[in-house]
A and B are shown apart, each in its own frame.
Chain A
Amino acid sequence: MINIEIDGKLVETEQGSTVMDAAHKAGVYIPHFCYHKKLSISANCRMCLVEVEKAPKPLPACATPAAEGMKVHTHSELAVKAQKGVMEFLLINHPLDCPICDQGGECELQDIAMGYGGGESRYAEEKRVVNPKQIGELISTNEMSRCIQCTRCVRFGQEIAGIMELGMANRTEHAQIMSFVNSSVDSELSGNMIDLCPVGALTSKPFRYTARSWELSRRKSVSPHDGLGSNLALHVKDNKVARVVPVENEAVNECWISDKDRFSYEGLNSPERLTRPMIKQDGKWVEVDWAPALEYVANGLRQIAGSAGAEHIAALATPHSTFEELYLLQKLLRGIGSGNVDYRLRQSDFSADGKQAGAPWLGMPVADINAADRFLVIGSFLRKDHPLLAQRIRQAVKQGAQANIVHAADDDLLMPVANKSIVAPDEMLNTLAQVLKALAAEKQAAVPAEIAAVTVGDAAIAIAKNLASGQQVAVLLGNFAQQHPQAAQIALLAEQIAALCAGRYGYLGEAANSVGAYLAGAVPFAGDVQGMNAAQMLAEPRKAYLLLNVEPELDMHNPQQAMSAMRAADMVVVMSAYKHHAMDYADVLLPVAPFSETSGTFVNTEGRAQSFKGAVKPLAEARPAWKVLRVLGNLLDVSGFDYDTSEAVRAEGLHTLSLDDKLGNRISGVAINIATESNGAGLQRVSDVPIYSADALVRRAASLQKTHDAAVPCVMLNGSQMQKLGVESGDAVKVSQGDASVQLTVQKNDSLPQGAVRVAAGHPATAALGAMFGIMSVERA
């Protein structure tokens, strides 16, 4: 520790820290633009000049290492003169038109100019003009002339997003921030550059000129998308969410959010919003009041329970629903005698049901990812499924950790990967068994009998050696591994691999409330009434379905099967914020509130329960789903449905504050059965869920839907496969699975394993197809 003095305050700071760090500790504010605690130091704005005793000239606080006995003055005559001078220089080229600038009112330059600048400028000459660049649908550069070249956006790309899409071309007065030949900025974290920009040079394209910052009220919330549970501030104007920005929480999202979290709010104000309850009468949709709609639902359910039996009623919910909603949904269903309730819509292997110690979770706090030194990421489209968790792994790798990948696709993770084994889906289990066997050899442990027969390949040995050399090993199961038909066995091997290297293992939660949904009991094996899982409910069609936020053609593992079950059902009740495809097959549409219009709780992938309040009033006749379910409970005479608040529901469902004893990945009683050779016939489907197709809200976020990531998915094949089929990149091909086929464009992707074809799921273009895994055929269209 070093002792230094800042403005007369003594402060202790760590060896190697800067004067800026020490000032933070001492609670002294030093103005700055280019400095950001999460980015490297560039010291180019010079705003943080301070006087250091015995130094001949003012020094930049952000780049000056603190030294023992240093005396710093941030308000001395010299420091003030330096700051005033820098400010005057910065304003030479900056347009002084704050009243019409989108950043006005929340601009660092504006604030600091007020605090540290002079009253007027001596510069009367012409100002520099920088032409706007087209860099995509999310970030506007229309006022590039405002740029003060702090390069925060450039450093963010290089250091956090992992890809340098913006750079500073030219030099001196001609320096400009731009992308390479007007290419778009496609990073899934790009929106953070808008927050980082201290001036109005990079602004949010969807938000521009829709509100002034002082008109907005700020309401805290939690992201409803990926499993991280990023903390958000919803900025509200006229009872509408006008934009979303991050709330800093070092343990969860640090100070970032993904573009999905940031721009999905456009879906909240989508014209597709369902605003009144609707009932289908004689094939026509009629808008009705809540009371008759709910009566209709209650009567219908009562009738079906009476005639066919309660086991003919099934409920499916997305894990993007809140804890309270899911808790009441399962309570309602169990109350009327059915255990058919599930949130694991894209899962296909349910063999671990009831055999897992608790809710499948990350297996460690999110923040511990940064401390791990070896990773084994199994079956994950990491960057697109978990943008910020990927970012944490990227930071860990930068600090010296090494990442190993076992997956069926080889997308660029924008970080160095030590070893990878890219195999067809049906070889994943075998590959993990190889890793385990090699690791056992490495650690001189006994090889489990079930896997003794596998032949260990070089890639597996490399991964095993790498893992064996680690002190803090993290084995992470991605969405693909969880959706895999052998998910339970994959998890079991992951557990054993982690155990051999004394590491931890866990699931990267697919959705905001994947853990919470399990804890709420929205699974068929929880509670006293047991029932069918999501796959069984469709394989053996039920007479009535309750869909909570589900769009079956996009959200299910097998949309083909799901749709035929929906069409055949006597009654489909859709609780959704949107009018959607359900108009074709549903009988009742109940408008429920999205996350911004209801109070609720999401339990993120590390088991952190985060409650939030509604930021705006529900749109028109929409109501929070927990209230709808409560009334349904009352109408169906289910006992214990007299909640006044969502907090009361939460208190009943999540009675303890600590969830530690309810989380548990350990699986017992599942046998490992490894096929030693691939079955060889046909092409195996590898399916990702595209980042902007993953849930109902983001599907309706207009700007995100215009980005590169939301483009209609292509069929990907490796070169030799394409040669066999006689097709070339850009050709149209017919992709068939089950009894349906769709026409898509083919794209070459040589990193795909032999015998695999990548066709995205969750997208309207592929919704007609069958299961996310399985055999499909591709032919020339």
Chain B
Amino acid sequence: MLSAHIQEQINRELKKYPVDQKQSAVMSALRFVQDEKGWISTDDMSDVAEFLGMAKMAVMEVATFYHMYNLKPMGKTTITVCTNLSCTLCGAEETVAHLKTRLGIGLGEVTADGKFGLREGECMGACKDAPLFTINNKRLCGRLSKEKIDQILAELDKS
């Protein structure tokens, strides 16, 4: 079951689209689920499908197509590091290596305490700040150095 909060958010989103085009809200709906739960399970997909009156498989297509949807639990904070060209030229590999040592996990993994998840991402369209990563797909952190990463992690650890 989708929580009351998610349902309310989806209903607000639905107002943007024609009544017979409810499926237009599928991406937002999946985002709301992920914001609340941290990831999207197949049960959630099927709930979203029912809520929007679309085929379950159609929801799954969307959820698996876009990289920013987490299809498995990714921890309270998911750090997604861009490893595309500009970031790699500016040191994305070091960023990844440093995060791996600091968190003790590899790409696509979650720390044992469930606090951090680490993912590899595609270009986030902010190459001027390379190398960079995002936190929970919401906050962009650029011009990363080991010190800056440590600072961000410390900050996240506190919150």
Interface residues of A (CB under 8 A from B): 158, 163-171, 178-181, 183
The CA of A163 and the CA of B57, in the complex, are separated in Å by 10
Q: How far is the CB of A159 from chain B (nearest CB, A)?
A: 12
Q: Given the interface contacts A180-B46, A181-B42, does A167 sit within 8 Å of B65 by beta carbon?
A: no
- B-chain residues with CB within 8 Å of residue A164 when the two chains form the complex: 55, 57-58
Contacts A163-B55, A180-B56 hold; do A168 and B61 have CB atoms under 8 A apart? yes
Tell whether, in the assembled complex, residue A171 and residue B65 are in contact, meaning their CB atoms are under 8 Å apart. Answer: yes
Q: Which chain A residue lies CB-closest to B55?
A: A164
CB distance from A394 to the nearest CB of B (A): 15
CA distance A164 to B53 in the complex (A): 12
Q: Which residue of A lies closest to B65 (CB)?
A: A171
Q: How far is the CB of A304 from chain B (nearest CB, A)?
A: 59
Across the two chains, which residue of chain B brings its CB closest to A169? Answer: B64
Please name all residues of chain B whose beta carbon is closer than 8 Å to the beta carbon of A179 when the two chains form the complex: 57
Flag if B64 contacts A166 (CB, 8 Å).
no
**A169 B55 Cβ-Cβ under 8 A:** no
Looking at chain B's contact residues, the main secondary structure is helix
Question: Which residues of chain B have C-beta atoms less than 8 A from A169's C-beta?
Answer: 57, 60-61, 64-65
Q: Are A165 and B64 in contact (CB under 8 A)?
A: no
List residues of chain A with CB within 8 A of the CB of B45.
Answer: 180
Closest B residue to A174 using CB positions: B64
Closest Cβ–Cβ distance, residue B19 to chain A (whole Å): 13
Residue of A nearest to B63 (CB): A169
In the complex, what residues of A have CB within 8 A of residue B65's CB?
A: 169-171
A-B pairs with lowest CB-CB distance, top 10: A167-B57, A164-B55, A180-B56, A169-B64, A167-B61, A180-B57, A170-B64, A181-B42, A171-B65, A164-B57
B: residues with CB less than 8 A from A are 42, 45-46, 55-58, 60-61, 64-65
CB neighbours (8 Å) of B42 from chain A are 180-181
Question: Nearest Cβ distance between residue A181 and chain B, in whole angstroms?
Answer: 5
> From residue A640, how far is it (CB to closest CB) to chain B in Å?
59
- Could you say which residues of chain B place their CB within 8 Å of the CB of A183? 56
Q: In this complex, what residue of A is CB-closest to B57?
A: A167
Sample (17) of A-B pairs whose CB atoms are under 8 Å apart: A166-B57, A167-B55, A167-B57, A167-B60, A168-B61, A169-B60, A169-B61, A169-B64, A169-B65, A170-B64, A170-B65, A180-B42, A180-B45, A180-B55, A180-B56, A180-B60, A183-B56
A298 to chain B: closest CB distance in Å? 60
Docked complex Cα distance between A167 and B45 (Å)? 14
CB-nearest residue of chain A relative to B54?
A164
* Least CB distance, B128 to chain A, in whole angstroms: 27
- From residue B2, how far is it (CB to closest CB) to chain A in Å? 17
- Report the separation of the CA atoms of residues A170 and B66 in the bound assembly, to the nearest whole angstrom: 8
Q: Which residue of chain B lies nearest to A158 when distances are taken between CB atoms in the complex? A: B55
Inter-chain CA distance A164–B55, complex, in Å, is 6
**Looking across the interface, which residue of chain A has its beta carbon closest to that of B59?**
A180
User: Which A-chain residue is minimally distant from B67 (CB atoms)?
Assistant: A171
A228, chain B: closest CB distance, angstroms: 26
Specify which chain B residues have a CB less than 8 angstroms from the CB of A170 in the assembled complex.
Answer: 64-65
| Residues of chain B within 8 A of A165, CB atoms compared | 55, 57
Cα distance A183–B60 when bound, in Å? 13
Chain A residues with CB under 8 A of B57: 164-167, 169, 178-180
- Pick from B46, B64, B65 the residue with the most CB of A within 10 Å: B64
Across-interface contacts of B55 in A (CB, < 8 A): 158, 163-165, 167, 180
In chain B, what residue has the closest Cβ to A167? Answer: B57
Q: How far is the CA of A441 from the CA of B138 in the complex (A)?
A: 61
**Cβ of A167: which chain B residues have Cβ within 8 Å of it?**
55, 57-58, 60-61
Q: Which residue of B lies closest to A171 (CB)?
A: B65
Specify which of B56, B57, B60 lies most central, judged by the most chain A CB atoms within 10 Å of its CB.
B57
CB distance from A345 to the nearest CB of B (A): 38
CB distance from B28 to the nearest CB of A (A): 20
Give min CB distance, A153 to chain B, whole Å.
Answer: 11
Which residue of chain B has the shortest Cβ distance to A172 in the bound complex?
B65
Q: What chain A residues lie within 8 Å of B46 (beta carbons)?
A: 180
CB of A194 to closest CB in B, whole Å:
18
CB distance from A168 to the nearest CB of B (A): 6
Roughly how many angstroms separate A149 CA and B55 CA in the complex, as a whole number?
19
Within the assembled complex, what's the spacing in Å between the Cα atoms of A179 and B42? 12
Residues of B within 8 A of A168 (CB): 61
CA distance in complex: A167, B46 (Å): 14
Minimum CB–CB distance from B50 to chain A (whole Å) comes to 12
Bound form: Cα–Cα A270–B46 in Å: 40
Q: Roughly how many angstroms separate A180 CA and B55 CA in the complex, as a whole number?
A: 9
